[in-house]
Chain A
Amino acid sequence: MEIEICEIGYDKKEYIKIGCHKVDSNVKEIVNFIKSRQGSIDVKNGEMKYNIPIVDIFYVESVDDRTFIYLSGDCYETAHKLYELEEILNERRFIRISKSVIVNLLKIECVKPALNGRYLCHLKNGEDVIISRKYVHEFKEKLSR
Chain B
Amino acid sequence: MKDRIQDILKSFFVSTVLINVAMFVCGSIFRPDQRFGYEAFLYPLIYGFLATIPAFFMYSKKELTVKQTIIREMIHCILVVAIIELFMFGGKKMTGELVVIAISVAVSIAIVYIGVEFIMYRLDLKNARNLTDKLKSFQESIKDV
Contact = CB atoms under 8 A, between A and B. Distances in A.
B125 interface: yes
A38 B142 CA distance: 14
Nearest to A140: B131
B104 interface: no
A99 B63 contact: yes
Interface string B18-43: 00000000000000000000000000
A130 B69 CA distance: 14
B143 interface: yes
B94 to A, nearest CB: 36
Contact of A117 (B7, B70, B125): B7
Interface in B98-145: 121, 124-125, 127-128, 131-132, 134-135, 138-139, 142-145
Contacts, number: 65
Given A105-B138, A110-B132, A111-B131, A116 B145 contact: no
A76 B145 CA distance: 21
B121 A113 contact: yes
Contact of B63 (A132, A137, A140): A132
B135 to A, nearest CB: 6
A137 B127 CA distance: 12
User: DSSP majority for the A interface?
Assistant: mixed
Max chain A Cβ within 10 angstroms of own Cβ: one of B64, B139, B142: B139
A143 B125 contact: no
A50 B3 CA distance: 42
A45 to B, nearest CB: 23
Interface string A29-55: 001001100100000000000000001
Contact of B139 (A16, A31, A105, A137): A105
Nearest to A105: B138
A118 B127 CA distance: 11
B128 A113 contact: yes
Contact of B143 (A15, A111, A133, A143): A15
A68 B143 CA distance: 26
Interface of B: 3-4, 7, 63-64, 66, 69-70, 72-73, 121, 124-125, 127-128, 131-132, 134-135, 138-139, 142-145
Interface of A: 13, 15-16, 31, 34-35, 38, 55, 93, 98-99, 105-106, 108, 110-119, 130, 132-133, 136-137, 139-140, 143-144
8 contacts: A31-B145, A35-B145, A106-B142, A115-B70, A115-B73, A117-B3, A133-B4, A137-B3
Ordered nearest first, which 4 A-B pairs have the shortest CB separation? A113-B124, A143-B134, A111-B131, A115-B69
